[in-house]
Amino acid sequence: MKNNFRYNKNKQRNIKKLRLIISCIVIAVIVVVGSTIMAQKFSANKQNVQAQAVEANKQTDSQGENASSKETENNITKESDSEVENPAFIEKYLDQQMKGQKPDGADGKKVVYLTFDDGPSETVTPQILDTLKNENVHATFFLIGKYIDKDDTSKNLVKRELAEGNAIGNHTYSHDYNYLYPNGKINLQNCMSDFEKTEQSLKNVLGQDFSTRAIRFPGGQMTWSKKDPTGADAMDKSLHGKDWHQIDWNALSADAEGSPKNAEQLKDEVIKTVAGREKAIILMHDTYGKEETAKALPEVIKYLKGQGYEFKIMK
């Protein structure tokens, strides 16, 4: 009897323990399941918030791009009030003029852009810079990368151009027609590579923050638009993707055309080709062998001032 009592008592204790264990297991399962559900809800809410944030950013970016696009559109149809002009404005102005259209930017205001290609040179560029400084006007220099990298003297000339208030444009690295235009066709990859190489040369000299949006093709974009219109269109798209704009000209000194000319003849060519121009973008050169251009420049500037032109640069 006594043994039965002990047995029953132990049995009751074991049942209680078992119930306790089962209760603990059930509670643990409930906690785990509940935690999992809460975690899933939290994750879903987080993903929802992130998705909303991404969508909001997309809308903001889209609005920013639209605003930027609208600003660019406004800029290229309206001339700057400062000495520095947006290259996109000049690119569009020249393109419309070349097509026989009245440029959107035509406003009756006489503006001239002195531009010099193929430098820097240690012989002619310093003379050009001295004249510009003496006349208190500025110009845009379209530089060739291989001449920038030539030596320290060339690099210092590039620094001087910028320090004295002039603008710098990109005129490819090699200026090699066979490489840039094999078989008379624009090679997009070679051209972009050459422009990018010159951009890096400029950054190496002027600092990594330096940039220019003014691009000029050897021979001019107008030449290749006629010879290779498909290639020219593809080139424009690639340039505009980097906010680069090709700048041709609508007046020149003819210092790289026909037989060699003296300073007086070069001045006469400028006068002839500027005639009737509201916005005159004048092509000249400051490379080796262009000493007569340097001699002609003071008289060219004097004439343009006498005609009421305002001098601007582009970058």
Residues identified as active-site = 117, 285
Catalogue the E-assigned strands of 97-188.
Answer: 111-119, 140-143, 167-170
User: CB–CB of 259/92 below 8 Å?
Assistant: no
* Helix, strand and coil in the chain, % to nearest 5: 60, 10, 30
Q: How far is CA 303 from CA 95, 212, 261, 307, in A?
A: 26, 29, 18, 6
Encoded tokens for 222: 């107008």
At residue 12, the 3 state secondary structure works out as helix
Q: Which residue in 144, 46, 52, 89 sits closest to 313, CA to CA? A: 89
User: CB–CB of 119/286 below 8 Å?
Assistant: yes
